[in-house]
Structure 1
Amino acid sequence: MTNRIAISLGLILIAAAVIDIALFGDQHMIFLGKKLFALIDWVAFWR
């Protein structure tokens, strides 16, 4: 992956998060953050 592609993908993800927060509030992001933390913990257990 080149730097240009990585930066483009990063900017798209940040823009999607900003749009989601602007339209629906920050409750979705908090929920997803908690679920992501649980997933990382679960995957680390099986490692």
Structure 2
Amino acid sequence: MSNGLAIFLAICIAGFLAVDATLFGWDLSVALGRRFADLLGWLAFWR
């Protein structure tokens, strides 16, 4: 991964978190975190 791509991804993630905090009150991040935890549990089952 190049430095430019890493900086771009960091800016995108920071922008997503800023929008989520201001518009949705962190609800979107919490929902995505729960879905990701469910996905990890599902993947662990199939391992």
TM range (shorter): 0.7 to 0.9
Kindly tell me the number of residue pairs found equivalent between the two proteins.
47
Task: Please report the TM-score for the alignment, with normalisation by the length of structure 1.
Answer: 0.72
Identity of aligned residues (%): 36
TM-score for both structures, normalised by structure 2: 0.72
Matched residue, 2:20? 20
1:8 aligned residue: 8
Let me know the Cα RMSD of the aligned residues.
Answer: 1.4
Tell me the distance in 2 between the aligned counterparts of 1:27 and 1:39.
18
Q: Which has the higher contact order (CA 8 A, sep 6+)?
A: 2
Runs of 4+ in 1 over 6 A off after TM superposition: none
How far the C-alpha of 1:44 sits from its partner, in A, is 2.5
Q: Which 5+ residue runs of structure 1 have no aligned equivalent? A: none
